[in-house]
């Protein structure tokens, strides 16, 4: 790619010129579109020369593409084209069922499990009395050997043997079914969050990395809340799809 591939935009009418790093980012996106996942970009020094820009400007563009999941960066190795993001269709089925149906290998690592007393916030989310015992299960969700989500599920009543049952089945929803709990309605809320040091350690991302926080409230046929879950997903590796009819 020649240096002419990146040009300084001139103001036209009310249109403001694009920042230099953004022009470099667009030029990189065109180059990346011609490469296959796993292929590497040239070294930064060579790439900056080809694009006619400084390494500082180049690094800002590369950092944004890495945060967006377009590139993956390895210290001392270089920048590589990232694989496509995994698509998770949010519905009544579980994370394991959704991605497993797509032919992916899905498993979970139980990080923590306990039966605490509900504080005011948890009591509100589960519609129970403050101080009531709850079941809490923290799991790392792993797809094709890559950690993608850190999930904390809270249930309004303790369930004896839950951890062993989830470990055996690999699915919380399948386990709840065995306990006679049927989920008939769910409500998801989505927002962004920045990875804490603990979350970053489990998800193998840097502290402060943008994550997607999905909070789910599940109800049974009588409208009673049977699950409240907070899941932190790697925004660079997962995108969500919601489907509906009018």
- CB 119, CB 130: distance < 8 Å: yes
| Cα(40)–Cα(32) distance, integer angstroms | 9
Q: What mean pLDDT comes out for the span 60-86?
A: 83
CA distances from 81 to 60, 203, 238 (A): 17, 20, 16
Whether residue 6 has pLDDT greater than 60: no
- Mean pLDDT estimate for the chain: 85
- CB 81, CB 37: distance < 8 Å: yes
Question: pLDDT grade, residue 13 (50/70/90)?
Answer: very low
- Closest to 81 (Cα-Cα) out of 154, 140, 32, 121: 32
**Residue 10: predicted pLDDT:** 42
- The model's pTM: 0.68
**Residue 91: predicted pLDDT:** 53
**Residue 109: predicted pLDDT:** 94
**Residue 243: predicted pLDDT:** 64
Question: pLDDT grade, residue 111 (50/70/90)?
Answer: very high
């Amino acid at each position: 790619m020649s240096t002419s591939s990146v040009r300084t935009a001139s103001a036209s009418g009310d249109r403001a010129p694009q920042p230099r790093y953004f022009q470099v980012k667009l030029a990189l996106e065109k180059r990346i579109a011609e490469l296959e996942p796993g292929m590497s970009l040239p070294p930064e020094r060579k790439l900056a020369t080809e694009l006619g820009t400084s390494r500082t400007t180049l690094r800002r563009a590369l950092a944004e593409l890495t945060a967006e999941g377009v590139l993956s960066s390895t210290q001392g190795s270089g920048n590589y084209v990232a694989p496509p993001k995994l698509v998770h269709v949010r519905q009544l089925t579980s994370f394991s069922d959704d991605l497993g149906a797509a032919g992916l290998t899905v498993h979970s690592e139980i990080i923590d499990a306990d039966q605490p007393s509900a504080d005011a916030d948890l009591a509100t989310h589960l519609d129970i009395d403050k101080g009531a015992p709850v079941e809490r299960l923290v799991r790392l969700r792993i797809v094709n050997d890559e950690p993608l989500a850190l999930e904390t599920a809270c249930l309004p009543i303790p369930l004896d043997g839950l951890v062993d049952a989830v470990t055996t089945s690999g699915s919380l929803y399948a386990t709840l079914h065995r306990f006679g709990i049927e989920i008939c309605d769910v409500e998801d809320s989505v927002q962004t969050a920045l990875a804490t040091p603990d979350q970053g350690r489990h998800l193998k991302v840097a502290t402060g990395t943008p994550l997607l926080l999905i909070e789910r409230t599940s109800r049974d046929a009588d409208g009673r809340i049977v699950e409240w879950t907070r899941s932190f997903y790697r925004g660079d590796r997962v995108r969500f799809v919601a489907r509906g009819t009018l």
